[in-house]
């Protein structure tokens, strides 16, 4: 099943996100069912939904260090520092990708992309209906994560900063303390990992993707999906919570190196470097996970 998130029409003078009266409805974000990973030979492999070439248009050459699957587009980072994107280009999320070899991380959102320069500055492009592109803060960041139509990042002083759509307080409720080492932006919620290994989530909570976060101080990685979240314990075990259509109750008992919460599924790289996915499988985003050994995997949940 494909989950679709539709925003309302522009009926006021100015909406909270800055959308002006008289323009078209805000863009609808389709949470597709595409997963991608980078193999040990630095080659990108994608599977699942291929409506706009998200899987088949993946670059055939080697030389990539990471990949991020967004709404119906995918972006990957080459070892040279150059960003390569493919798939849906309805909001110039492909054609506006910067040409410079200047980046060290990339994160694909619903209809936009953000990347982190080697200098620590954030560069975003694509749909800007809620300021998720133009409102990118100045200054340096340690990491950045693109969500549905908002983003979050961690500054060098361990403070989380978010910008863009705030209809579920996913921007305004970002924690104010300087205590975080990682953050992940989902659909309308976000989760962050404190330096004491505790998880803090905020924003939309209709499936307990916020209030269901575990209270223990035992985690080393966090990933916010569309309406669920997953975290990786220090012992390598995965813990997921939120919408059970995403297979939260069926989280594998295996131990993982990394984990990624997607639309209605999740994927992880096991300790033997094989990819394991679980949850909704409407387009083979679970069952078509390829063989071979992987460095990392992305479930396509804007994280």
The three-class DSSP label of residue 265 is: strand
- Number of structural domains found in the chain: 1
Say if residue 29's pLDDT is above 70. Answer: no
In a domain, 18, yes or no: no
In a domain, 229, yes or no: yes
- Lowest average pLDDT, out of 58-62, 194-198, 237-241, 245-249, goes to 245-249
CB atoms under 10 Å from CB of 182, counted, come to 20
Taking phi over 0 as left and psi of -120 to 50 as alpha, with beta for the rest, 53 belongs to left
In a domain, 89, yes or no: yes
State the chain's mean pLDDT as an integer.
Answer: 90
- Tell me the average pLDDT across 70-88: 97
Say if residue 12's pLDDT is above 50. Answer: no
- Tell me the average pLDDT across 88-101: 97
In a domain, 17, yes or no: no
pLDDT-derived band at 204, boundaries 50, 70, 90:
very high
In a domain, 175, yes or no: yes
In a domain, 253, yes or no: yes
* pTM, entire model: 0.90
pLDDT in tens, 35-49: 999 999 999 999 999
- Tell me the average pLDDT across 80-88: 98
Strands 44-48 and 64-69: unpaired
Say if residue 185's pLDDT is above 60. Answer: yes
- Tell me the average pLDDT across 69-91: 97
pLDDT in tens, 106-152: 999 999 999 999 999 999 999 999 999 999 999 999 999 999 999 99
Please report, for the domain that includes residue 254, its CATH number: 2.130.10.30
In a domain, 233, yes or no: yes
CA dihedral defined by 193, 196, 198, 202, rounded to 10 degrees? -50
Q: Which residue do the tokens 């030389």 mark?
A: 63
Give the model's pLDDT for residue 13.
Answer: 27
In a domain, 8, yes or no: no
Q: Which structural domain, as residue segments, surrounds residue 197? A: 32-298
Give the model's pLDDT for residue 246.
Answer: 84
pLDDT in tens, 210-249: 999 999 999 999 999 999 999 999 999 999 999 998 898 8
């Amino acid at each position: 099943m494909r989950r679709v998130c539709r925003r309302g029409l522009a009926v006021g003078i100015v909406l909270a996100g800055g959308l002006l009266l008289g323009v078209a409805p805000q863009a609808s974000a389709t949470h597709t069912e595409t997963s991608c990973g980078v193999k040990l030979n630095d080659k990108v492999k994608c599977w699942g939904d291929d409506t706009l070439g998200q899987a088949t248009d993946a670059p055939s050459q080697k030389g990539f260090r990471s990949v991020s699957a967004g709404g119906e587009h995918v972006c990957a980072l080459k070892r040279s520092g150059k960003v390569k994107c493919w798939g849906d280009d309805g909001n110039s999320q492909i054609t506006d990708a910067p040409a410079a070899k200047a980046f060290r991380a990339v994160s694909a959102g619903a209809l936009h992309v953000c990347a982190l320069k080697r200098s620590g500055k954030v560069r975003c492009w694509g749909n800007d209906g809620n300021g998720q592109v133009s409102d990118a803060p100045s200054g340096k960041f340690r990491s950045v994560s693109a969500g549905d139509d908002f983003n979050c990042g961690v500054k060098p002083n361990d403070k989380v900063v978010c910008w863009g759509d705030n209809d579920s307080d996913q921007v305004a409720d970002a924690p104010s303390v300087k205590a975080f080492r990682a953050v992940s932006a989902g659909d309308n919620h976000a989760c962050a990992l404190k330096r004491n290994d505790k998880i803090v989530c905020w924003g939309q909570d209709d499936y307990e993707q916020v209030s269901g976060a575990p209270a223990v101080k035992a985690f080393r990685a966090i990933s916010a999906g569309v309406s669920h979240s997953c975290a990786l314990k220090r012992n390598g075990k995965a813990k997921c919570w939120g919408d059970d259509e995403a297979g939260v109750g069926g989280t594998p008992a295996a131990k993982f190196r990394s984990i990624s919460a997607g639309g209605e599924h999740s994927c992880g790289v096991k300790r033997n470097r094989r990819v394991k996915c679980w949850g909704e499988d409407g387009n083979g985003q679970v069952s078509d996970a390829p063989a071979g050994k992987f460095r990392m995997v992305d479930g396509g949940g804007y994280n």
